[in-house]
Chain A
Amino acid sequence: MSKEQDFPLWEIFIQSKRGLDHKHVGSLHAADAQMAIENARDVYTRRNEGNSIWAVLAENLHASKPEDQGAFFDPADDKVYRHPTFYVMPKEAKYI
């Protein structure tokens, strides 16, 4: 079979309702951004799942490395004072 040039890969993000965040739903191949968005409509929103679509070229997406997951997220591990439950409140005080 003759070798054909592949369409680039796009990662697709869908906002299901106004006001919500865009969520990753999967990926697809398309020649350009417009085709990516139109195909994403047909592939991922056949039942009104979407209100807005983002298409990002997969090669432009950068990710943290799972192998240093431990060390990378370590700094957040021992800082309980970042949570409201860390603080002692007098019982009499209301709405705090």
Chain B
Amino acid sequence: MAESKEEALFQEKVDAEQKIEPKDWMPADYRKNLIRQISQHGHSEIVGMLPEGNWITRAPSLRRKTVLLAKVQDEAGHGLYLYSAAETLGIGRDELNDQLLTGKAKYSSIFNYPTITWADMGAVGWLVDGAAIMNQVMLCRTSYGPYARPMVRICKEESFHQRQGYEIMNVLSHGSPEQKAMAQDALDRWWWPSLMMFGPSDADSPHSAQSMKWKIKRQSNDELRQIFIDRTVQQAEVLGLQIPDPELKWNEETQHYDWGTINWDEFFNVIKGNGPCNKERLTARQKAHADGAWVREAALAYAGKKAKKKAA
């Protein structure tokens, strides 16, 4: 397919590392791709509040409770930054909401796993936020300006998320034998789903090549996953915990860890809606939206009344 003149100019800008802004000409697929990716990212932040919200009332100390509240509040903020970024591409907030609530839009499949012990708060912060940060650090350099800018803010805020999680893991793994076992159990359950967060292998990732050309993505799924593994293994050693992968081994030649195989059937099965918590998560969001309807209506009515009074 021959490129149009506009398309060539667009690619030239991208190649020259100039950011694309909302009013610039862009290929229809660039717009579509970005709306899909940014909205999925935003939905992940919003749904991501649920597994952790689950532990706010049962946090083991006031310190942990304040921290968890602040973290969940950050996720809400991050969801909002991302929704506004998506809106600059011409999609409305109501439409974004509808797509999430009707199950039409996806969110990160990691949030369809349950958080059954307190150690899960540690593992989620350490591994899930850790993996998300790797992706988001890369996205600070994404070609679309309104997507890149909030990423910088998100990365700054999220570094505490990962550290608070690792702190929980550190305390538990150096605590009583029961606490250490709880930390190990959380690592066992979250390790593989965290690796899946980077997405399918490059060869099987439908959007990867185009996204790299448009510089929406700057590093491949497999590349990011490998960096994550290389960093995390050392952190697990400090905790004295075992990564649940018998094939994990340092490779002197490549200077990276070799590791086992991801169960992609599980990944696609969860994406399709058959994970342990898909239904629960969606129902919770639908309920929150429906329960909040009267607040939104009242706010609009109040704003209308005030505007009328001012005009009179």
Min C-beta distance of A70 to chain B, whole Å: 12
Contact of B80 among A5, A6, A43, A66 (CB under 8 A): A43
Looking at B19-27, B205-213, B231-239, the stretch in contact with chain A turns out to be B19-27
Min C-beta distance of B285 to chain A, whole Å: 12
The answer to whether B299 and A31 have CB atoms under 8 Å apart is yes
Contact of A28 among B25, B74, B84, B101 (CB under 8 A): B84
Instruction: Please give, as numbers and ranges, the residues of chain B lying within 8 Å of A31 by CB-CB distance.
Output: 296, 299-300, 302-303
In chain A, positions 20-68 with a C-beta closer than 8 Å to chain B are 26-29, 31-32, 35, 42-44, 46-47, 63, 65-67
Given contacts A4-B296, A67-B25, whether A46 and B74 have CB atoms under 8 Å apart is yes
Is B3 close to A, CB under 8 A? no
Which of B80, B157, B306 has the most C-beta atoms of chain A within 10 angstroms of its own C-beta? B80
Contact of A66 among B23, B84, B297 (CB under 8 A): B23
Min C-beta distance of B82 to chain A, whole Å: 10
Which of chain B's residues has its CB closest to A33's CB? B303
When chains A and B are docked, how far (Å) is the Cα of A9 from the Cα of B80?
12
Which of chain A's residues has its CB closest to B301's CB? A31
Instruction: Please give, as numbers and ranges, the residues of chain B lying within 8 Å of A42 by CB-CB distance.
Output: 73, 77
Contact of B94 among A3, A35, A46 (CB under 8 A): A3
Instruction: Please give, as numbers and ranges, the residues of chain A lying within 8 Å of B297 by CB-CB distance.
Output: 4
Which of B84, B101, B299, B306 has the most C-beta atoms of chain A within 10 angstroms of its own C-beta? B84
In chain B, positions 78-101 with a C-beta closer than 8 Å to chain A are 80-81, 84-85, 87, 92-94, 98, 101
Instruction: Please give, as numbers and ranges, the residues of chain A lying within 8 Å of B24 by CB-CB distance.
Output: 66
Contact of A9 among B87, B150, B157, B293 (CB under 8 A): B87
Instruction: Please give, as numbers and ranges, the residues of chain B lying within 8 Å of A3 by CB-CB distance.
Output: 94
**Range of interface residues on chain B?**
20 to 34
The answer to whether A1 and B98 have CB atoms under 8 Å apart is yes
Is B61 close to A, CB under 8 A? no
Which of chain B's residues has its CB closest to A27's CB? B84
The answer to whether B80 and A28 have CB atoms under 8 Å apart is yes
Given contacts A26-B84, A66-B24, whether A32 and B306 have CB atoms under 8 Å apart is yes
Is B307 close to A, CB under 8 A? yes
Instruction: Please give, as numbers and ranges, the residues of chain A lying within 8 Å of B296 by CB-CB distance.
Output: 4, 7, 31
In chain B, positions 270-312 with a C-beta closer than 8 Å to chain A are 293, 296-297, 299-300, 302-303, 306-307
Which of A31, A32, A35, A44 has the most C-beta atoms of chain B within 10 angstroms of its own C-beta? A31
Instruction: Please give, as numbers and ranges, the residues of chain B lying within 8 Å of A32 by CB-CB distance.
Output: 299, 302-303, 306-307
Is B176 close to A, CB under 8 A? no
The answer to whether B293 and A4 have CB atoms under 8 Å apart is yes
The answer to whether B300 and A5 have CB atoms under 8 Å apart is yes
Contact of B87 among A1, A27, A43, A66 (CB under 8 A): A27
When chains A and B are docked, how far (Å) is the Cα of A84 from the Cα of B303?
52
Listed from nearest, the 8 A-B pairs whose CB atoms lie closest are: A32-B303, A31-B299, A31-B303, A27-B84, A66-B23, A66-B24, A31-B300, A43-B77
User: Can you offer 20 A-B residue contacts whose CB atoms are under 8 A?
Assistant: A4-B293, A4-B296, A6-B93, A7-B299, A26-B150, A27-B87, A28-B84, A29-B93, A31-B296, A32-B299, A35-B299, A35-B303, A42-B77, A43-B80, A46-B73, A46-B77, A46-B157, A63-B23, A66-B21, A66-B24
